[in-house]
Chain A
Amino acid sequence: MKPSNMPTPLVRGAMTVAPPFVLARAIDALLRKMERAHPRLFKNLARLKPYVIHVEPSDLPHRFALKFGGDEKAYVRLLDPRDETPGDACIKGDIDVLLNLLQGRIDGDALFFTRGLVIAGDTAAVVALRNTLDREEIDLFADVTSMFGPLQKPAERALTVLGRAREAARHRAAEFIDSLREERASDPAAPAWANERDALKAEIKTLQTRLAKLEVREKLAKGASQDPAHS
């Protein structure tokens, strides 16, 4: 199987920060592109029974509804966060897992065995979708970059470089945080500082308990003065 060129962290980042209306338009454009690139996939999806599957990437703030079958054109819609209408089925997993699954680069059953993928609802809908997608050779990265027309190659290079730069930056940030942690751990003043913090925390907790007890006592005292039956 060909390795994916898709800079997934970049995609995840972009999908996280993109305003919903921008994301919705990007999805429409990609769907139109895919329809041209994979007419057989859309024909096969239309031939299935009609279903709506909710796709919930566990590491993104968005949910999507995928509608297909019943002789109608398949489409993907960004779900409004307040929309509680259930789909026929629901698929949950990390976005890179879901994108790799869509492109047939990863085995759905293996993900299920390890619970990297969670499905709920009508299993027939999910099985039909998975089997129909698996018939197709999908390369999302190529589909996205081909939207740039004659600029496809430079766009591919730019996205790859951007993806790598983002990864490198993330890596550097992680290293920086690790080094801070190490510094703190090796700092001889750190234990004293940590001890002082813990002592203060304990003191606050004691004071809170004492305050709560006093409040209860005050309440009881007030109640007693208001209720002659208890005097």
Chain B
Amino acid sequence: MTQHSLELLSPAGNPAALKAAIEAGADAVYCGFADRTNARNYPGLNFDVDEMIESVAYAHSKGAKVLVAINTFPPAGEMKSWKDAIDNAAMAGADAVILADIGVLDYAANKHPNLRRHLSVQASAANPLSINYYRDQFGVKRVVLPRILSVDEVAHVAKETGMEIEVFGYGSVGPMSEGRCFLSSYMTGLSPTSEGACAPASHVTYKEDGDFVLSCLGDVVLNRVAKGEGAAYPTPCKARYVACGKAGYIFEDPIALNALDILSELKKAGVTALKIEGRQRSKAYVAEVVSAFRKALDAVETGETRSTDDLSELSEGGRQTFGAYKKGWR
């Protein structure tokens, strides 16, 4: 297995967060345009074309890369926004585009053959057969693996595909097959995941109920959180459901993935890049998480043993897990 330094890839929801990420030590930043072409389509978030051009120039001046996520699935007859996003990313000088839909991949491969293509986690490609198909058909150079594989499985995929492997190092976890979950459609009457937001803010409400807070999506109460109890994102997979008379987190606990303590294992498994989730989070989050990972990655490179920074305060529900990497729940 080739030994290389892991690329630290940070989210950026706006140009200020992109600067904060690079200042904190990110090697690359991923971001999206302010429309439904990417999976973090929230009001006030993301980049317009001018901001993208300026941000790419800024990142390059600091020796960092910019990857543009265009990773949602265009509905029938509405390809224009996705084609424009790819053309604009190429024009801005982006280092790569992160794509999921095969039509969008095909357009990018034909129209901008020199623009690097990465396969988004939204494509849900988790085995060598599927990944090799994307590599051979669309010239994909890197795959972002879904958060369902153990470290051994990641190593197997890396070996069998020979591709650049990107995995999640920190952030929110969802239990569903990525890019294919439509749970929130039943609660909102929309198709929010294909519009770039699982729980659109317009359908989320919080209500105080004595010492509790109720979080609702559409008309459905997802959770009732007591004082001092860690709260979860208002998504259907993090809701507390009543089954057999007992309320509990049936799909997924409010918890964040944190791979800070297994970086050398991931490196050994053949991982190329480590991705931090959270384009919807603030520049303060970006700065803190990136700097914690920068220190830990530098320590891995030098072989130094050091205790890693505590990120629990930034974590969903205030709790952290190795997720599928260790599959401890089995």
Contacts and interface: CB of A to CB of B under 8 A. Distances in A.
B283 A1 contact: yes
Interface stretch (A70-78, A111-119, A151-159): A111-119
A134 B16 contact: yes
A113 B316 contact: yes
Chain B interface, >50% SS class: mixed
B208 A131 contact: no
A63 interface: no
Contacts of A136: 16
Given A121-B205, A127-B43, A129-B44, A109 B285 contact: yes
B208 A118 contact: yes
Contacts of A107: 281-282, 284-285, 288, 314
Contact of B44 (A115, A122, A130, A137): A130
A57 interface: no
Interface in B204-257: 204-208, 213, 225, 227-233, 254
A106 B207 contact: no
A10 interface: no
Contact of A124 (B13, B14, B201, B225): B201
Contacts of B42: 127, 131
Contact of A135 (B14, B43, B208, B280): B14
A135 B16 contact: yes
A192 interface: no
A163 B285 CA distance: 28
B44 A113 contact: no
Contact of B206 (A109, A114, A120, A135): A120
Interface string B292-330: 000000000000000000000111111000000000000
Q: Which 3 A-B pairs have the closest CB atoms?
A: A131-B44, A128-B43, A124-B201
7 contacts: A1-B287, A106-B282, A107-B285, A113-B230, A118-B206, A131-B14, A134-B13
Interface of B: 13-17, 20, 42-45, 200-202, 204-208, 213, 225, 227-233, 254, 280-285, 287-288, 313-318
